[in-house]
Chains A and B, each alone.
Chain A
Amino acid sequence: MTTNVPASACPVLRWLLSLACLLGAGAVHATGQPPVPDTLQQRIAACTTCHGLHGEGSQDGGFFPRLAGKPAAYLALQVQNFQRGLRKYAPMEYTVRQLSPAYVHEIAVYFAAQQVPYQRKPVPDLAPAVFQRGGQLVQAGDPALKVPPCQACHGKTLTGTEPSVPGLAGLPYDYISSQLGSWRTGTRASAAPDCMAEIANRLAPSDITAVAAWLASQQVPPDAHPQPAGSITPPLHCGVLEGQGGGT
């Protein structure tokens, strides 16, 4: 892969298309155009500008979600959902609009294979009772609201389950609460029956704050790989799990 690295002031970074490096390397480019690396990373400069070179997501508030290490089928499905208008974020819808399924799959596999340490994200300052409520929802659910424990699908250590359930560990507070909010307002949806839409609608707004805060306050386990496929029995029907699971 590194054979194409052009001989410039900072080859590796440049190959990775670091903006800072382009600053210094622009002049070299002017004369003999070094060959453009024929790598996926070079091709997907648009994605990595927002999601980070390795899909690490934005480092500050967490507006651009992390893609690294999430199950490939989950990532590919999300891109498809943006193409189909089930998920909304205009700049991304524009970016992915005319990408073929094969290309989307290749890109998803790339991000799924990236291993980047999780960064600690800010957690809002809330009363201990709120965190307690959050922990309870994640580990035990709330039978009165018919909300199953999040762990039942997202895995014991909340690192997700292959092939289609993403991890919740290490996600920032803002991202979790905005995604649950999107399910309630219909700007995020997935294959029907959309179990996450049901769960998000059964939770009270204060519960969303609570789970998001509790999840964001947890340490990511040392092994952040998703659990193997088939290791869960989903308590609700989820379209993305091909109708697996049961309950109401």
Chain B
Amino acid sequence: MKSLRLLWVPTVFAIMVIAAWWWHHQRSSVGPKAEDPAVAAAMKDAKVIARGRYLTLAGDCVSCHSVAGGQPYAGGRALLTPFGNIPVPNITPDPETGLGNWRFENFWRALHTGMGIGGEPLYPAFSYTSFTKITREDAVAIFAYLQTLPPVHQPPEPLGLRFPYNVRGALTAWRAMYFKSGTYQPDPKQSAAWNRGAYLVQGLGHCNECHAARDTWGGIDTRASLAGGEIPAQNWYAPDLSMQAHGGLHGWTGQDIVDLLKTGQSSKGVAFGPMADVVASSTQYLSDADLHAMADYLQSLPARQPQVDDALRVSSKAVADRGAAIYGQGCAACHGTDGQGVPGVYPPLDGNASVLEPIGVNATRAVLLGGFAPSTAANPRPYSMPPYAQQLSDADVAAVVTYIRQAWSNRVTPVLERDVIKYRHTPVD
């Protein structure tokens, strides 16, 4: 892996030089001085603004563009990536530090082509790889809404990337490999609801930004769309969303998807970690029609190949017994000896997507951290799970997580003590 990485460096350099030259030519076009009259009219329309607010929630712009305790949409936060920290800009209409002087064309270029107001390529930590699918009409509505926010003066944080990632020109190479701009093209063979769902999931909802594997360069293989992946630098695994045979959500119904996205909880599992944030700040606000449309689309994801079953690497009898004992003492009271949980209160662990995901990080961290399902309008007072980080040793956590990964109908690989040691020290944000 390491040597492969080094090989890449000269290639990137070469492309950077070309890119820098090309970028220089692009920079001149900063965009129009006055707003397009049709856009200007739409931006004053209360209906458009209200729709924009809804779409902005669907895009979960607030979760990246705000810092805990800060003003919503005013930026101030940095996103953790394997290449370093990327500060998130202020998108309130402040003229100096936000989008106050932006015209719709500038905004469209950012969302649709991932280019900043100076023509500079933007880092794909900004989900424009998905947002490019947003229609122009919806983008107008989002822009109209953002321009009604109270302007907040908050200058951007400095870029925290290491060389050569801090040279924006290098992104040109990345974009050539991984990014293709283009709005969502409806599939005439599918229903209107399915198309609406596909548009929301692939575009605004940017589900694929987490729910797909990324390679060394942070690019997503489009063939593995929504097939699950590790979230780099954060140590979470966003599971495969296929509900068909061998899919990560095999056994889920459309209603389970709707429940999860609306309430934070379904009969098959609870949203936690980054998914709890997605539900709390975005999907809980979506209409039932849109949520059902998303579920329709997800139900059409293809069946997956069965995992090569190295679950036969079963753990030793001593570990298995230890895991079963801890489960019986600490976990069964809530999740049941049969792993079925208590409907509406405690999630089942048998068949649970986060227990079965390939690497075991989610279940390990769920046990270490415990926690609540998110408070949502539909489930305002969720139940919670105790954190076990203080009570259980690394070996015990490994044993009980291995147990739940191999009990009942679950048949996946064990979790090792050294994995637990690593996940115990992952920062929570």
Contacts and interface: CB of A to CB of B under 8 A. Distances in A.
Interface of A: 17, 19, 22-23, 25-27, 29-30, 33, 36, 40, 42-50, 83-86, 90-91, 93-95, 97-100, 102-103, 106
Given A36-B346, A42-B383, A45-B384, A95 B337 contact: no
A145 to B, nearest CB: 30
B329 A26 contact: yes
Interface residues of B, number: 39
Contact of A94 (B264, B381, B428): B428
7 contacts: A22-B329, A36-B383, A45-B383, A49-B370, A85-B67, A91-B389, A98-B264
B370 A98 contact: no
Contacts of B257: none
Contacts of A93: 428-429
Contacts of B280: 98
Nearest to B77: A85
The 8 closest A-B pairs by CB, nearest first: A84-B69, A49-B386, A98-B374, A46-B384, A30-B337, A100-B375, A85-B68, A94-B428
A102 B379 CA distance: 12
Contacts, number: 101
Nearest to B281: A98
B380 A100 contact: yes
Interface of B: 67-69, 264, 276-277, 280, 328-330, 332-334, 336-338, 342, 345-346, 369-372, 374-375, 380-387, 389-391, 427-429
Given A29-B337, A94-B428, 18 more contacts: A26-B337, A27-B337, A29-B332, A33-B336, A36-B342, A43-B381, A45-B384, A46-B386, A49-B391, A50-B387, A84-B68, A90-B427, A90-B428, A94-B371, A95-B370, A98-B372, A99-B372, A102-B375
Given A29-B333, A98-B375, A103 B383 contact: no
Contacts of A95: 369-372, 384, 387
A4 to B, nearest CB: 12
Given A25-B333, A83-B69, A45 B381 contact: no
Nearest to A46: B384
A48 B372 CA distance: 13
Contacts of B427: 90
Contacts of A19: 329-330
Contacts of B333: 17, 22, 25-26, 29
B380 to A, nearest CB: 6
